[in-house]
Chains A and B, each alone.
Chain A
Amino acid sequence: MSTSTDAMPRPARSGWLTPRRAKAILKRVVLYLLLAIVAFFFAGPLYILLSTSFKTMPEIQAGGLMFLPHEPTAQAWVTAWGEACIGITCGGLKGYFGNSMMMAVPAVLISVMIGAINGYALAKWPFPGARFVFAALVAGNFVPFQVVLAPVSVTLRTLGLFGSVEGLILIHVIYGIPITTMLFRNFFLSVPNDLIKAARIDGAGFFWIFFRIVLPLSPSVIVVALILQFTGIWNDFLFAVSFSNPSSAPMTVALNNLVNSNFGVKEYNVHMAATVIAAAPTLILYILLGRYFLRGMTAGAVKG
C-alpha cells in the first residue's frame, strides 16, 4: 500500500513515539487485523476446497482438514471432469460444462447487445412514452424469479423450448434485459448530446452513431455488463433446475446432483474439484477483466 510509509517508525532526534504517532500506528494495526479477518473468511474455504481436491480419499478420512495434501494427486479432478456419476450417467461434469457454456455465452452476448441498444435509444433518442418504458424496465428488475416460474414454464412448453438449452437462453435473455438496459442507459446519459447531433448532421443514422461513436466510448460499461450477466447466468440455479432436463442441465444443476447424491461413499475430493470447476469461469473472468470492472463502476459513478 502506498500509504504505509506514514506508519513506518522513523528514527527521530527525541522520542519518536509521540501520542499522535502511537494513535496512527494503532489505527493501522486495527485496520490490517480487520482486513486479515475478512481475507481469511473468504480465502479459507477456497484453501480447503483446493487442498482437499488434491487429496486421496484415505487421507481425507484420516482427518486433518486444514493440512496440505501429503501426496498431491489430480485423480479427483479427472474423475470430476470425466468419470463421476451424476444421476444415472457416469460421464463427469464435462457435458454439463458444455451445456453451461452453450447457454451462458449466447445469453450473455444477446442480453448485453439488446441492453446496449435499448439503453442507447432510451438515453439518446427520446420518443413518446420513453419514460414509461424506462419505468417498466426498472420495475422489471424487481420481479422475483419465483413469481415467474409457472408462467415461464407454460410459455416455454408452448414454444416447444422446455427442457432445452435454447429455452434457458431465451429466459435468461429476457430476464437480463432490464438490468443491462438500465446499466447502459445510465452510462449513455453521460455521453454528450452534441456528439449525437454532430453525427446526425454528418449524416449518420441511429445504428451508425451507435456502432461508430457511442459504443467505442463504452468499453468499461460493456465489461461491467458482461461480467454481471455472465456471473448471474452461469451461477443461476433456479431457472436451470426448473426448465432443464438431464441432457440440457447446466453446471449448477449437475454439481448439486453430484454433491447431493445419496449413493455410495461421499467422495469429498471429487466434490471439491467439481466445485472449483463450476466456479472457475466466473473466477477467470474476474481475474481477466476485473480491472475494467472496477474502472467501469467508478467511471459511471463520477460522470453520471
Chain B
Amino acid sequence: MIDIRISNCNKNYGSLRVLKDINLEIERGEFIVLLGPSGCGKSTLLHIVAGLDRLSSGAIEIGGRDVTDVEPKDRDIAMVFQSYALYPTMSVRSNMEFGLRMRGKPMAEIRPLVEDKARMLHIDHLLDRRPSQLSGGQRQRVAIGRALVRDPKVFLFDEPLSNLDAKLRASMRTEIKKLHQSLGTTAIYVTHDQLEAMTLATRMVVMKAGEIQQVGKPEEVYHRPVNLFVADFLGNPGMNFMKGRLRLEGGRVSADVGAATIPLDGYAFDTSPTDGQAVMVGLRPESVQPSTGGEPFALTLKPTLIEHTGSDNLVVLAMGSEEIVGKFPSDMLPKLGEPVAVGFDLSRLSVFDAQTERRI
C-alpha cells in the first residue's frame, strides 16, 4: 500500500529551482533514505513532506489523503531535527508531552505514554532535566522520544545523527534500525552519511541538484548505479573509472582502456553497445583484489602508494597512464614498485557512456 506519494513536485525560491519535478512513491513501513551532496534539496523535500514549506507546484499524499494544503500538525507526522530543536525552557518530560497536550489528550493518558517511551530510550532518569543539562546523545534520544510518543503515521528525520561522534553515531544508528523494525512506521531519513544510508535504508534515493538520480535498494544502487554521478558519489574510496572505447568483434564485446582490454562478455548491457563508443568502465576497489590465480581476468600492476586503514590496505596501482585503487586484505602487503598480480571481479563492472554519463 502506498503511504506517501510525491507527484511532480517543484520548489522554487525566486528563480532558484531547488526541487525539479520530484516523483516518489513510498510503501507503508518503508525506511527511505535521502542521500545527496550538500544543497541538493534533501531538507527542502523533507520539509515539504512535513508541510513546513509550501510547494511551488505538485502534490503530496499521505495515507491516501491529499495533504498538499494541509497544515503540518494535521498531517500525522513527527520530525526529528538535526539541531534536535528541543524546547530549551521546558523539562524533558514537558518536551515529550508537548505534542500530545497540544492535541488535547488528557494528562492521565499522556503520563504513562511518555514514561513508557522514555524507558524504551533509556532516558527515564532524565525526565526532569532541562535540555541544556543533557549530553548530545541524550538530547538526540529525547528528540526521538518526542517523535515516538506521538505515534505518527510517518517519521521524518533530518540528519539526526550528524552532531554526534562516530561511536555514538554507530550505536544510535543501530537503535534507530531496531526501532524501525519493531514499530514498522514509514520513515524518511535524510543523511550525508553513506554508511547510515546503506545500513538503514530499505530503499534509498540519491539526489543531485534538486533531481532524483536513482531510487532503489541500497545494494542495487551501490552495485548498479544508473549514472556516473551515483557511481562516484557512493563508496569510500570511490569507484575506479577507466576511460576507453568499446570494441565489437565477432559478436564479442570488450572495452579497450589503453593499458588493457577488458572483456565484457558477462556484462548485462541496458542498451545495445556500438563499436567505438566512448565509455567509462567503473569498478569498485573491493573488486580489485590480489590474484588467487583463478580469476578469468587478471593483470600484473605496479603499486605506487599504499594506505593502511586498519581493516585493509588500499593499494594504488599504476595502469598505463591512469591509476586504480584496490582494496587488499590487511595481511596482503605488496611492496612499492614491485609488480603484483591483480584479479578483477568483472561481474561487478559498471559501464557508462562517456557522453551521456548514463549506464549502458
Contacts and interface: CB of A to CB of B under 8 A. Distances in A.
Contacts of B150: 202
Contact of B77 (A195, A201, A216): A201
Given A194-B83, A197-B85, A202 B73 contact: yes
A261 B63 CA distance: 80
A26 to B, nearest CB: 45
Contacts of B85: 192, 194-195, 197-198
Interface residues of A, number: 16
Interface string A187-209: 00000101101111111100010
Contact of A202 (B82, B89, B98): B98
Interface in B34-64: 47, 50, 52
Interface in B206-263: none
Interface string B66-95: 000001110001110111011111000000
Contact of B50 (A201, A203, A213, A217): A201
Contact of B52 (A197, A208, A212): A197
Given A195-B87, A213-B89, A216-B89, A203 B103 contact: yes
B87 A200 contact: no
B89 A201 contact: no
Interface centre among A201, A202, A203 (most CB of B within 10 A): A201
B166 interface: no
B83 A201 contact: no
Contact of A201 (B79, B86, B88): B79
**Interface size for chain B: under 10, 10 to 19, 20 to 34, or 35 or more residues?**
20 to 34
B73 A203 contact: yes
B339 interface: no
Nearest to B77: A201
B52 A201 contact: yes
Contact of A199 (B47, B71, B77, B87): B87
Contacts, number: 57
Contacts of B50: 197, 201
Contacts of A208: 102
Contacts of B81: 194, 197-198
B99 interface: yes
Contacts of B79: 197-198, 201
Nearest to A197: B52
Interface in B10-34: none
B99 to A, nearest CB: 4
A208 B78 CA distance: 18
Contacts of A212: 87, 98
Contacts of B77: 201
Contacts of B78: 201
A222 B230 CA distance: 52
A201 B87 contact: no
Interface centre among B71, B78, B89, B103 (most CB of A within 10 A): B89
Nearest to A215: B89
Contacts of A198: 79, 81, 85-87, 146
Contacts of B72: 197, 200-201
B161 to A, nearest CB: 16
Interface centre among A198, A199, A203 (most CB of B within 10 A): A198
A103 B32 CA distance: 60
Contacts of A202: 73, 98-99, 102, 146, 150
A200 B52 contact: yes
Nearest to A202: B99
A202 B103 CA distance: 8
26 contacts: A192-B85, A197-B47, A197-B81, A197-B85, A198-B79, A198-B85, A198-B87, A198-B146, A199-B98, A200-B52, A200-B72, A201-B50, A201-B72, A201-B77, A201-B99, A202-B73, A202-B99, A202-B102, A202-B146, A202-B150, A203-B99, A204-B98, A204-B102, A212-B98, A213-B87, A217-B89
Interface of B: 47, 50, 52, 71-73, 77-79, 81-83, 85-89, 98-99, 102-103, 146, 150
Interface of A: 192, 194-195, 197-204, 208, 212-213, 216-217
